[in-house]
């Protein structure tokens, strides 16, 4: 059945025959797993990134995203079906251009679409008839149609007949087994019916399942709902933690008890604050957009307030714990365990560890950290912390006035911590893994 234009029919045929070349803009935590899924399902991939260091690493087979593994980067280096470049002109050869770029917040928690708009302009410069453009980055409803489409339309080509535009949000969960890009269901919504069908044809050949929705706006909104749902529920348990701690009630045991109910409850766990690129950021994209239509988003904003207060709560708990030992934050030796935003990955995006460390240093604490996945504190947009991971041994632990667990990596010897530290402030319930009779340290949950 014809899609109504020769360009659409030809592109669909190339996708179905897997002769289509897929261009991926942004070779990071989203773009590289997506490249892997495309390659594994028989498509040739053209990777683009403005960071020449990533291109050089790929050419050398050097791993720069730990959970993807050395073998994956070796495969990219040796593959005849993958080419990476920092020259945007390579995208002219792509039949589909998938934008996997950051969507951070500005200084005042307003959406920063500069990466999306810059990459759209890049695609527009090399746009030709018969190309599909898809945005994968999380954003507010209307971005694909109202922000991207006008830029692409400046080419003089007509969307839906000459070029095609859709939105399909990434759903990456770095480091989680069984949740690779190819295993996670995809939402697909185009700005018109033809764009939707073409994008669906591509994704349903590379992921476990592709779910078609009626518009790009539905897909954009669904992605926000997914992450706002998590933000609100994490805020709920974080707030309960602060209340129950004052009652000497263990929030982790409470959650484990509640989740025995087989319906009506999903377990979320508290922590030192939100991290990663999704939950700390995405809700603000909707709250900002809601102002355009004059609607308050008090529930979402309240969850954001609760979650952003957690680093200060952790510091208060640490301060109280040190006071009980007749010690001050000022001058204390504080060892932070884990600076990644979640366990078992080398990803520090929006990690609460950065704010916690900066605030502790401002209070006069002497900070060191140990993280088996991050040997040096990486560059961040809002923080510059010149720190390197220290070895975790008896001497380091005994010399610390307090050990603060921020990220509960599995490959940390918590028994060693329990035997040799004098005070452990645990924001992740990590010390529960060690039998109580093997722990001599005082444990404070925060």
Question: Any idea of the CA torsion for 61, 65, 68, 73, to the nearest 10 degrees?
Answer: -10
| Cβ-proximal residues to 442 (8 Å cutoff; 6+ apart), any chain | 321, 422, 423, 424
How does strand 423-426 pair with strand 402-405? Answer: parallel
Residue 7's Cβ-side half-sphere holds a number of Cα atoms within 13 Å equal to 18
Beta bridge partners of 44: 21
Structure tokens at 420: 């040799």
Beta bridge partners of 187: 211
Q: How far is CA 391 from the centre of its chain?
A: 27
The three-class DSSP label of residue 424 is: strand
- CB neighbour burial string for 396-432, b if at least 16 within 10 angstroms, e if fewer: bbeebbbbbbbbbbeebebeebbbbbbbbbbbbbbbb
Inter-residue contact 402 to 335 (CB < 8 Å): yes
* Residue 159 is among the residues annotated as catalytic for this protein: no
Residue from 63, 100, 159, 278 carrying the catalytic annotation = 278
Round to whole Å and give the CA distance between 191 and 193.
7
| Cβ-proximal residues to 181 (8 Å cutoff; 6+ apart), any chain | 30, 33, 34, 36, 37, 170, 172, 207
| Cβ-proximal residues to 304 (8 Å cutoff; 6+ apart), any chain | 231, 235, 283, 284, 287
How does strand 186-190 pair with strand 210-212? Answer: parallel
Beta bridge partners of 22: 45, 96
Round to whole Å and give the CA distance between 429 and 267.
15
Residues designated as active site = 278
């Amino acid at each position: 059945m014809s899609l109504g234009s020769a360009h659409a029919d030809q592109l669909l045929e190339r996708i179905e025959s897997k002769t289509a070349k897929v261009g991926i803009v942004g070779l990071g935590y989203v773009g590289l797993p997506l490249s892997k899924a495309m390659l594994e399902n028989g498509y040739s991939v053209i990777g683009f990134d403005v960071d020449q260091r990533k291109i050089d690493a790929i050419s050398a087979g050097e791993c720069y995203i730990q959970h993807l593994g050395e073998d994956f980067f070796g495969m990219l280096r040796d593959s005849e079906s993958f080419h990476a470049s920092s020259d945007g002109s390579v995208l002219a050869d792509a039949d589909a251009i998938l934008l996997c770029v950051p969507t951070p917040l500005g200084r005042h928690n307003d959406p920063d679409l500069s990466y999306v708009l810059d990459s759209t302009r890049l695609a527009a410069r090399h746009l030709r008839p018969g190309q599909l453009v898809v945005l994968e980055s999380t954003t507010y409803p209307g971005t694909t149609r109202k922000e991207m489409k006008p830029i692409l339309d400046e080419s003089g080509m007509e969307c839906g007949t000459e070029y095609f535009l859709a939105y399909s949000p990434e759903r990456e969960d770095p480091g989680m087994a069984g949740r690779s890009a190819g295993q996670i269901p995809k939402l697909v919504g185009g700005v018109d019916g033809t764009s939707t069908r073409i994008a669906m044809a591509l994704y349903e050949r590379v992921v476990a399942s592709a779910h078609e929705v009626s518009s790009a706006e539905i897909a954009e909104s669904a992605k926000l709902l997914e992450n706002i749902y998590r933000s609100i529920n994490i805020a709920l348990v974080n707030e309960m933690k602060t209340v129950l701690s004052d009652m000497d009630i263990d929030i982790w045991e409470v959650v484990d008890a509640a989740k025995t109910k087989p319906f009506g409850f999903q377990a979320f766990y508290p922590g030192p604050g939100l991290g990663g690129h999704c939950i700390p950021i995405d809700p603000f994209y909707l709250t900002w957009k809601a102002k355009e239509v004059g609607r308050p988003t008090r529930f979402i904003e309240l969850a954001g307030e609760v979650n952003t207060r957690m680093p200060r709560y952790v510091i208060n708990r640490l301060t109280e714990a040190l006071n009980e030992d007749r010690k001050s934050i000022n001058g204390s030796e504080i060892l932070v365990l884990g600076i990644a935003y979640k366990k078992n990955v080398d990803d520090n995006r929006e990690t609460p560890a950065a704010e916690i460390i900066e605030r502790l240093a401002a209070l006069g604490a002497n900070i060191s950290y140990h993280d088996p996945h991050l040997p040096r504190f990486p560059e961040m947009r809002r923080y510059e912390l010149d720190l390197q991971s220290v070895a975790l041994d008896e001497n380091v632990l005994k010399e610390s006035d307090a050990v603060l667990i921020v990220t509960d990596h599995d490959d940390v010897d918590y028994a060693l911590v329990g035997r040799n530290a004098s005070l452990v402030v645990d924001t992740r319930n990590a010390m529960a893994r060690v039998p109580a009779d093997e722990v001599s340290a005082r444990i404070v949950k925060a």
